Structures are given as C-alpha cells and as structure tokens.
C-alpha cells in the first residue's frame, strides 16, 4: 500500500487543517540529537517547482505522510526552482527569472525560498526541518503556493518574528538572491533539470533512486538505511 492523501479541495482551509494536524505529531517530538543516531541519516535533496503538479503530488502524498516516521533518519533540503532559468545583465543588476509555469510560479518559488530561509534564521534548530516540511506541504496542498505561504506560516505555528522575516523577504531583493542561489544549486546538479521533482540521495543523483522515490519514498529511504530502521520499514507501505 502506498501513501495517498486525498485532496478534498485545494482551498486554504483544507491546507491549514491538514498541516495543523500533522504539525502536532511532528513538532511534539524534537529530532534526535544523539550522535550515534545521526550517523544513520540519509540526506535528501528535493528539487521542485511551486506550481508543478508532480511536485505537489509527491510532496503531499509521499514526503509529508512519511515524514513523521522517517524524520530522525532523513535530512531534507528543499530547493524550489525546477526548470526555471535565471540571469542578469551585469554583476550588480537585478535578477531576471523565467519559470516553467509562468510568473506566478516564480513568485511561489521566491515565497517558499524566503520561508525556508526565515525558518533557518529565526526558529529553534531542532524545529527547522519539520517546520520547513510542514510549511511547504501546506503551500503545495493549497494549490496557490505563492499566496499561501504567509497563511501557512501562521498555520504551522511560526513565530511572529519569523513571519515578519518572510513578509520582508518576499518584498525585497533577498527573494531574488535566494531564488538565484537555488538556480545555481539546481544547475550544478543538472542543466536543465530533466524531471520535476528530482530527488537526490546523499548528494548523488541516480535514475534508480529517482524512480523509486517517485513510486515509494519510504521504501527508498529504508533501502539506504544500514541500521536501526524505523517501524515504517517493516510495514506494507515500505515493502510494496
């Protein structure tokens, strides 16, 4: 059995309810800081786009539902950019972006990049990853990632300071700089990116890992873990 979250509607209310419920489970247990446990952590880089239906589907149906059980065994890096392009006419000139799904997607990518940056800058370290996964999951479920970010920031319980950082970032050149940095990271992996979302395990892309991540993300993680596997690895969902 694979993980599926049935989308009753792509409204803000559905997103807020979903993420609020999930966040109680995720944030109630801080990520393990035990040095031995951290030796058995898989790095997962997710290259995605805010308006890509495949990205929405994977984050909502694969990453978020399995995160609660996998959170102590994965370190997730979210990279909103995808198949966009970026350039500027001079070293100090403004960045120009062209996104696969138009200007709205560029705004969504920037908003999520700002949210990720603000969480890392302002929230408690042990909550960085669960808050980022929750917020991005909320925005992707809402179906309007660009405008949903400020609302999702409140729904997942970000501090007033962090929410202000997000709002200030979205309205400033920092948003462009963050998105450009994501573009550099994406192009260093593949130029152009072949598929969105692209999931990279431990810094190395492989088609085998990519295909398995799209089909059954928990199974992929369980296969790469070498010891002390979480209970999800013995469940039907990670075996099929």
Give the DSSP per-residue string, 118-141: HHHHHS-GGGHHHHHHHHHHHHHH
Residues 40, 226 contacting (CB under 8 angstroms): yes
Q: What is the pLDDT of residue 32?
A: 41
**Ordered structural domains, the chain, with CATH:** 42-226 (3.40.30.10)
Give DSSP secondary structure letters for 99-121: -TT-HHHHHHHHHHHHHHHHHHH
Cross-strand bridge partners of residue 96: 87
Residue labelled with tokens 């013995």: 234
Q: Give this prediction's pTM.
A: 0.86
Joined together, the tokens standing for residue 40 give: 């058995």
Report the percent of the chain where pLDDT is more than 90.
73
Cross-strand bridge partners of residue 46: 78, 199
Q: What is the pLDDT of residue 209?
A: 98
Average pLDDT over residues 107-131: 97
Give DSSP secondary structure letters for 17-40: HHHHHHHHHHHTSPPP--HHHHTT
Q: What is the pLDDT of residues 169-195, one digit of tens each?
A: 999 999 999 999 999 999 999 988 999
Q: What is the pLDDT of residues 123-167, one digit of tens each?
A: 999 999 999 999 999 999 997 877 899 999 999 999 999 999 999
Spatial CB neighbours of 225, under 8 Å, sequence gap ≥ 6? 40, 42, 73, 233
> How would residue 14 be classed by pLDDT, with cut points 50, 70 and 90?
very low
User: Is the pLDDT assigned to residue 49 strictly greater than 90?
Assistant: yes
Q: What is the pLDDT of residue 91?
A: 86
CA distance 135 to 115: 8
């Amino acid at each position: 059995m694979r993980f599926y979250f049935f989308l009753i509607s792509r409204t803000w209310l559905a997103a807020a309810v979903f993420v609020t419920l999930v966040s109680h489970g995720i944030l109630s247990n801080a990520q393990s800081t035990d040095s031995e446990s951290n030796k058995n952590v898989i790095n997962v880089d997710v290259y995605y786009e805010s308006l890509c239906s495949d990205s929405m589907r994977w984050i909502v149906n694969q990453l978020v539902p399995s995160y609660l059980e996998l959170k102590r065994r994965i370190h997730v890096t979210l990279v909103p950019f995808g198949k966009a392009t970026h350039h500027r006419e001079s070293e100090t000139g403004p960045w120009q972006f062209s996104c696969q799904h138009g200007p709205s997607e560029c705004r969504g990518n920037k908003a999520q990049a700002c949210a990720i940056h603000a969480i890392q800058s302002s929230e408690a370290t042990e909550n960085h990853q669960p808050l980022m996964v929750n917020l991005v999951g909320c925005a992707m479920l809402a179906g309007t990632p660009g405008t949903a970010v400020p609302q999702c920031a409140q729904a997942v319980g970000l501090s007033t300071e962090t929410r202000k950082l997000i709002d200030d970032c979205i309205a400033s050149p920092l948003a462009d700089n963050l998105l450009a940095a994501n573009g550099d990271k994406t192009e260093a992996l593949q130029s152009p990116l072949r598929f969105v979302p692209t999931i990279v395990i431990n810094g190395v892309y492989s088609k085998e890992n990519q295909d398995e991540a799209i089909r059954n993300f928990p199974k992929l993680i369980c296969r790469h873990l070498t010891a002390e596997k979480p209970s999800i690895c013995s469940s039907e969902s990670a075996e099929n």
